[in-house]
Amino acid sequence: MADGRREPPPYGRDRVRGSIGSNSPYDGGMGRGGGHPPTRGGYPPQGATYHTQERRPAWRNPSPGPSEGPPIPSTSAAVSTPAFSTNVHEPPPQPAAATAASTSGLALNRQHRPSGRGRRPLADTLRTRGPDAPSKHGTTGQQLLLQSNYFKLLKRVDWTLYHYQVEFVPMCPSPRLTQSLVNEHKKLLGGFVFDGVQLFTACKLSSDELVLHSQHDRTGDKYELHIQRVAVVDMTDETGLQVLNLILRRAMNGLNLQLVGRNLYDAAAKIPIREYHIELWPGYMTSIRQHENDVLVCCEIAHKTMRMQTCYDILRECQRHDRNFKDAFRRAVLGCVVLTGYNNKTYTIHDVTFETTPESTFDTKNGKISFLDYYKNKYNLRIRDAYQPMLLSRAKKKDTRSGDSELMALVPELCQMTGLTDSMRSDFKMMRAMADHTRLNPDRRIERLETFNRRLQTSPESQEVLKVWQMELDRRLVDLPGRLLPQEMIFFSTTSNGVQAGENADWTAHFRDNPMFATVRLNRWYLVVPGRCQREAGDFLNCMITAARGMRFEISNCEMVPMPDDNPGTYIRTLDAIINKDPQMIMCVVSNNKSDRYTAIKKKCCVDRAIPTQVMVQKTITPKSGNVRTLMSVATKVVIQMNCKLGGVPWKVKIPLNGLMTIGFDVCHDSKDKSKSFGAMVATLDHDNRGTPKFFSTVSHHSSGEEISNYLPLNTVKALNEYRREFGELPKRIIFYRDGVSDGQLQYIYDHEVRSLVEKLGQIYKSAGIEQDVLLTFFIVNKRINTRFFDHRLNPRPGTVVDNVVTLPQRTDFYLVSQSVKQGTVSPTAYNVIYDTSGLKIDHLQMLSYKQCHLYYNWSGTTRVPAVCQYAHKLSFLVGQYLHQSPSNMLEKKLYFL
């Protein structure tokens, strides 16, 4: 959450992140990533693809002009070749077009294919739950009957797959060609799945070793297919489930959906928002997985934002409004993802070349051809502007491995823009218009899910695929048990009886009648303000003092320091003069949300010196309709935030464990250099349940941009040393919440982070004379999931826990709905215990996690993840987006990053 920005209503992504507003670069609303969250277990895989041998024009970098930017290095294969060559394969056709192919032949996606020849496994197989482990199903709370966005696979697959290895003589480097050569024998093979090397058939072949002959349909080259049986695949293991996912995606082709990126979207049902020149494509994300007792199909509603403009439209706008239109156009499109309608494929734009136009030619086997003629002959598309520049997109690694060129040339006129720009995201009215269609309430979401199921059950083509593979889906959503945990008591002092958090887990109103739990007297502080904002700043300062008095937070009158302008350099010079006076805190008023000014302030006070700062935007402290009383709500939140930055604590919940240290960890990538990232760790030190908790934070730099931290054991030792300095002994118990981990990284996290952490902790405790094992619980927290729950077609209440039916048998895992939303469908958070020597029951772990969601001091309500995770995200985001280097270690004991 940003300095001093008002907290939004308790709904949507901002509430999830605990942010104050989504329009400011200071408020945490620009959280990690964009688009749709990845699905559980790496699913869903991409659908069946039928490849052709047609090659697209590739780009070879001629000598760029002085204004064209640095050349992009090309592959070694491009050396001594003409400027254009045919080293790029034709992208796969649309899924809808693929329905003409046989329902028995499916192409296994190369990114998700079975492990073999050193390939990675299909999905994460980390099993953290032993056969003799205690029950993972809790009993505390009120029993509920819920529904989820899963459909049961009614007809259990009772057939097996036969696994064969295929070798080609001579060797065939193209995966598209190998698929074509195998497809020639689909009558012999029957139902099959092929990934370029491994073949899975529903029927056992006539011999364990077989040699088949195929011929290239265009060149006439002859190939031998040497097929050797490897094993029999059980349909309940990872490989079998992967095949089921592919079959489901193949059946979905009968719905005339289009593959954009990883997901399927219904272009025919697009929702135009003409006022903002965008349209929304509704779609679906699906996955099949073995859950507690059944194989279940998870289905989630997705939306793809498409802009009603092409790259050529942006070029024309730049030509009309910018004198140096080339640089403006390059800035506008670099890094953007575009959709080419002729093949329904997405590309990321990496560069622009003005030396190449659609009139330029490239080499083919039949001689040179221009881009104009290529698109006319291949797709019957007429390019209107023959002199427009060309866009360059770097091929994906999997394409370059199969012989494709590193760079592909695209025509701006044929590239439709996708996604949103930063200016679009900052347009509140536009985002609100989109939310009306994308934020589906539970009843609308259920209706959409049932419609999807009905279409799948009634489409002849879809039914044909399911029938061939003997699959049948239930028509009803899965019913499952849940529990509602008791409401938490919020304590504002050691002597009070506390107040209930409430049904919506929001205790904002109680601040009118209660003090903060612990405060720090603020005597020496300064208010830096541009001259034209002095009146608003003075009125807001009076509101802050009034609000602080009601919460027993002593604030002395500060010294207001006016400035002649609001340039970043002026702020730096003013701060330099103030810092020499050793202030406790500095508040800065800024005229707008420009990040360069905010970055300058934070770098000066977080890196160069160690002074907590509070940054306020002029708009935030300006009263509505001139009524100063409208600022009291904002002033109350800012006062709470300032107290936390000084070391105070606004409230507590009862945690009946003494000697507890709770740790959160998260990673944020550097916004300037994507090869770098910063891992932030925040620890809460609770020695005595009745005492005031202490805090410790640290940041580590990851040079290769990975989300895996090699510094985690070292940083944990720093927190242990701080605990020992504060309380004279080591903590009795450590609870670790690790965020920012995908399912595919679980094994690596366990092998590297957890094991090294356990080993390091063992050494520390033994050196302190403690021989017993460290009482450590290591959670993986995952909020980017597709699972949703419904309580009688409504959102479940905060505190709802699900630990059965849709959980995984190989894990000690559960889902927790910890927040309340007023719009849309609430998103649960998945908790996975991958290491536990605490001896606590699952009930205790679930309730402890829910308690932690009440302790994020930037929001007087619950957050989607435990507070230490939210703090770690805030800190890593501050460093990755603005500081780009580790803060001063003199701030480690304060929540200066709120």
Q: Catalytic site residues?
A: 666, 739
Amino acid at 114: P
Q: How many CB atoms lie within 10 A of CB 783?
A: 16
What letter does residue 406 receive in the DSSP assignment? S
* H or E segment and range at residue 163: strand 161-169
Side chain identity at 512, as an amino acid letter? R
> Which residues, including other chains, have CB under 8 Å from residue 650's CB and lie 6 or more apart?
492, 516, 517, 640, 643, 644, 857, 860
Q: Which two tokens stand for residue 427?
A: 């347009």
The closest of 281, 306, 339 to 420, measured between CA atoms, is 306
CB-based contact 512:522 (threshold 8 Å): no
CA dist., res. 872 & res. 894, Å (int): 13
Q: With left for phi above 0 and alpha for psi between -120 and 50, is residue 98 left, alpha or beta?
A: alpha
Indicate the burial class of 767 (C-beta count within 10 angstroms; 0-12, 13-18, 19 or more). Answer: exposed
- Can you tell me the distance from the alpha carbon of 24 to that of 30, in angstroms, rounded to the nearest whole number? 8
CA distance 309 to 330: 16
Look up residue 415 and give its two tokens.
Answer: 């590239």
Structure tokens at 674: 């994507």
Which of 326, 352, 319, 350 lies closest to 337, judged by CA? Answer: 350
Instruction: Please say whether the beta carbons of 344 and 98 come within 8 A.
Output: no
Radius of gyration (C-alpha) of the chain in whole angstroms: 30
The residues near 509 (Cβ < 8 Å, ≥ 6 apart) are none
Q: Which amino acid is at 721?
A: N
Q: Coil, strand or helix: which one is 841? A: coil
Backbone angle region of 470, left / alpha / beta, with phi > 0 → left and psi within -120 to 50 → alpha: left
- Cα separation, 471 vs 286, in Å, equals 15
526, 614, 642, 890 from 584: Cα distances, Å: 9, 11, 10, 13
Contact of 193 with 243, CB cutoff 8 Å = yes
Distances (CA, A) of 146 to 149, 793, 802: 10, 9, 9
Q: Which of 691, 670, 690 is nearest to 679 (CA)?
A: 670
Alpha-carbon gap, residue 664 to 680, rounded angstroms: 8
Q: Which residue do the tokens 């964009």 mark?
A: 34
Q: Are 863 and 16 in contact (CB under 8 A)?
A: yes
Half-sphere exposure of 14 (CA within 13 A, CB side): 26
Helix axes 595-603, 568-579, angle to 10 degrees: 20
CA terminus-to-terminus distance, the chain = 6
CB atoms within 10 A of CB 876: 27
Pairing of strands 733-738, 775-782: parallel
Q: Structure tokens of 8? A: 């939004």
278-290 and 271-273 beta bridge pairing: antiparallel
Calpha distance 793→445 (Å, rounded): 9
Q: Where does 551-621 have alpha helices with state H?
A: 568-579, 595-603
Burial class (CB in 10 A: 0-12, 13-18, 19+), 116: middle
